[in-house]
Amino acid sequence: MLKKLFFPLVALFMLAGCATPPTTIDVSPKITLPQQDPSLMGVTVSINGADQRQDQALAKVTRDNQQVTLTASRDLRFLLQEVLEKQMTARGYMIGPSGAVDLQIIVNNLYAGVSQGNVRYNIATKADIAIIATAKNGNKMTKNYRASYSVEGAFQASNQNIANAVNSVLTDTIADMAQDTSIHDFIKQNAR
């Protein structure tokens, strides 16, 4: 009886040791919300997202002498669109399909450059996000948000290390978006 259980368990553990780590990175930044503006009664904005990165990879890492491409666990267009919707709702705007101002949030760059040696790794992450506001009167404004983050550690960079770096740079970018009032001011001036 014991042999019947022992051999399958040993085989299971051996196979589990050969499993490759996942090639997705859990992208879940902290979302900072701005202060509400009570003067925005009834102003509707429409929001959509776009991912204009040349490569969908968040990082490329060498593991066991092979290059592994790591991608986001969810579509960055929809993630950042959701972030912008939450921030605009927190400010007091309503979100709808035909708003007084159309907002488009664009991912221009989000990448974690990973360099590894035998003893240390370095992760240098950069984010470049743009918001384009287009009013119905034809006025247009583009605001860019850029952030970078770098971290070092011992031995090899794990997916979790890379995810932490990506989430940190995105969290910083989202906080900048919440603190910046230029898009908010543009909407107030052009939504009449």
Task: Supply the pLDDT for residue 191.
Answer: 80
- The pLDDT of 150-156, averaged and rounded, is 91
**Nearest CA-CA partner of 170 in 72, 35, 49, 92:** 72
Right CATH for 44-190 from 3.30.70, 3.40.50, 2.40.128, 1.10.150: 3.40.50
Tell me the one-letter amino acid at 89: T
pLDDT at residue 3 greater than cutoff 80: no
Q: What is the pTM of this model?
A: 0.85
| Strand ranges in 52-183 using DSSP code E only, listed in sequence order | 57-63, 66-72, 94-95, 101-116, 120-135, 140-154
Please list the helix, strand and coil fractions of the chain in percent, rounded to the nearest 5, in that order.
35, 40, 30
Q: What is the rounded average pLDDT for all residues in the chain?
A: 89
Helices (H), 19-118: 76-91
Contact 179, 34 (CB under 8 A): yes
User: In angstroms, rounded to a whole number, what is the distance separating the alpha carbons of residues 187 and 184?
Assistant: 5
Domain ranges of the chain: 44-190
What is the arithmetic mean of pLDDT over 71-76? 94
